[in-house]
Structure 1
């Protein structure tokens, strides 16, 4: 999507009930001030209070005409009060008029500026969403014996992309899955994630050995100029006939699997360093093996989930909550799990990006359905 095709309009403002009450209050204030001024009689005036009306009106809209209309009504009310309250010096009424006019122009100008900022933010977010679709492609719901789902939640409320990454590729060697977490945040982390995904998408279809595939990803990171980032990652290769699953854990949190209501961890045969650090410690990546059964549910996750904290500072009990989730499709399980994480962290929100990828093995009779 090009920048020229982005929308120029500000998205519609959906006013919460309290904000709508502000707009009603602005016009009620106009009427109340006029009535109070008439009741109190000569010698006193509330006309300067009318300057609040366009300010309240401006807080409820993204179009300048609303505070301008409220200001015009307020100015008319000040003029009316000047005619009915002649006991005050003209300087008082002039001051009230200038005050209301200044508040009206300031409120209208503020609305214009806020609308321009929101339009700019909309452009940025639209580009970010297009970048996310190119970088993190949603996996197919079904691949042979596997049923998959993925969810990604950025820690920053306005963010769309970050340092977590995933990919599911159907290759001549089986279904290959990658889930990773780049050290650090911001654009450098996104650039590193893009590099890893690019190498994986090519090497996953040409490299028969899973450990060698991990080494190629490690080499791609260490070969980057001025590279100081590493990536924890999980690599899986699921046999196309529902047979054994090979996996390599590169310094990443162990995946969980649920079988008949019980949850266990996929322990690697050897703890290995993250991608980008293998050369510092030497050795090689080792391949582990998992024998799935129909109905097994495998959960890959980043530490944004397992290290989510509640108000008391306690980590989210992922294995315990995963065991208690209702059975359903992988997508249903991830939605329920993320909702539970949201309740756990409360208003504080996630401190880190969170990626979840679920894989369930279907019975053979369901493969084609």
Structure 2
């Protein structure tokens, strides 16, 4: 409005710049509150009157036409600001409810779980969403820790609902079942019931279940998921593969389809990274997959969360833009010494697998 006023005084009444004063309340209605828009509209009306009197435009219709234009734009701007404010309040309420639901579904993992230190990273492929079809959980149990990471086929609310089913079944079974295979069976039954109720026989969930015991080992149960990455203190990298590949959750129909547990050593200083295909299948501009096994140097930070954040930033930088799929990562570190293990767990015996 100041620029229009200066230009109008400089150019004179013959140019007809006075109606452009209405740009002030017009832009205010797009960005400000209705009160701010009304205030700027009042200033615009006063400025229009002043310039109209200075230019002598009220001797004819030009001055009244410009004044009517400013008044009309001000009223429209106030109405737009009121509608936009109502929509913003409704959106804020929906986001608050969504954030609460997201925190319930994907709860923060404990930074210290038994003899382990843990960190998690989640990046949703859906804009402004914190969760999608990927899932993870860490459950401390007597003698160790049980974890799960998985990837639901598809995206959107249906994928989130299926992820909630898997996590709910795992959280309950992890405390009740003495064997990891029993946990997997409980989760599989829950997924089968959910998918049968939806009448969709083509949906599935890839998942990797693991039990890390204080005895110095980790046992896996793999339902068609990418293998974990095991990093030794010497920076030697291992991707433990299952003895035989089995279908994902939701596609297991008989005893022959159930996965066999397999184990590896996991001692002080070792790191275990569980991830979804949003990480392993991330591609750069040339179509090359992300070289996860070559990025173990990023996990050298003493703080597991800082190390995982660095790895996540490297994945995003490698892709060169937003990720095309949900990406979840769960990092577990075995403490360097037994002195770091809480006393209440030091005397616990490892559960059977």
The DSSP-based 3-state class of the residue aligned with 1:308 is: coil
1:38 aligns with 2:12: no
Q: How does 1:55-94 map to 2 (within 5 A)?
A: 55-61=26-32, 63-86=33-56, 90-94=60-64
Question: Which of 165, 176, 181 is matched with 2:151 structurally?
Answer: 181
> Deviation string for 1:313-365 (max 9, x for gaps)?
3332222223444332221111111122222233x311122211110011212
Q: Structure 1's 319 and 34: CA in aligned 2 closer, same or farther, altered over 3 A?
A: same
5+ residue gaps, structure 1, are 1-29
Q: Counterpart of 1:51? A: 22
Distance (whole Å) between structure 2 residues aligned to residue 211 and residue 368 of structure 1: 27
Query: Which structure is richer in relative contact order (CA contacts within 8 A, separation 6 or more)?
Result: 2
Q: Structure 1's 101 and 315: CA in aligned 2 closer, same or farther, altered over 3 A?
A: farther
1:313 aligns with 2:313: no
Deviation at 1:252, TM superposition (A): 0.7
Deviation at 1:87, TM superposition (A): 6.0
Distance (whole Å) between structure 1 residues aligned to residue 208 and residue 183 of structure 2: 11
Deviation at 1:49, TM superposition (A): 1.3
Q: Counterpart of 2:346? A: none
Distance (whole Å) between structure 2 residues aligned to residue 162 and residue 297 of structure 1: 26
Is this contact kept in 2: 1:54–1:103, CA < 8 A?
Answer: yes
> Deviation string for 1:49-103 (max 9, x for gaps)?
1111222333443x11222222212211221222122268622222212222222
Q: How does 1:180-199 map to 2 (within 5 A)?
A: 180-199=150-169
Q: Counterpart of 1:301? A: 275
Q: Structure 1's 305 and 90: CA in aligned 2 closer, same or farther, altered over 3 A?
A: farther
5+ residue gaps, structure 2, are 344-353
Q: TM-score, normalised by structure 1?
A: 0.84
The DSSP-based 3-state class of the residue aligned with 1:279 is: coil
Instruction: Using the TM superposition, name which of 217-226 and 251-260 deviates more.
Output: 217-226
Pairs aligned (count): 337
Instruction: Using the TM superposition, name which of 250-259 and 79-88 deviates more.
Output: 79-88
Q: How does 1:135-174 map to 2 (within 5 A)?
A: 135-172=105-142, 174=144
Is this contact kept in 2: 1:325–1:333, CA < 8 A?
Answer: yes
Q: Counterpart of 2:222? A: 249
Q: Counterpart of 1:202? A: 172
Is this contact kept in 2: 1:154–1:160, CA < 8 A?
Answer: yes
1:110 aligns with 2:80: yes
Distance (whole Å) between structure 1 residues aligned to residue 137 and residue 117 of structure 2: 14
Is this contact kept in 1: 2:114–2:140, CA < 8 A?
Answer: no
Question: Which of 224, 236, 248 is matched with 2:210 structurally?
Answer: 236
Q: Counterpart of 2:326? A: 353
Q: How does 1:328-339 map to 2 (within 5 A)?
A: 328-339=302-313
CA-atom RMSD in angstroms: 2.2
> Deviation string for 1:2-32 (max 9, x for gaps)?
xxxxxxxxxxxxxxxxxxxxxxxxxxxx233
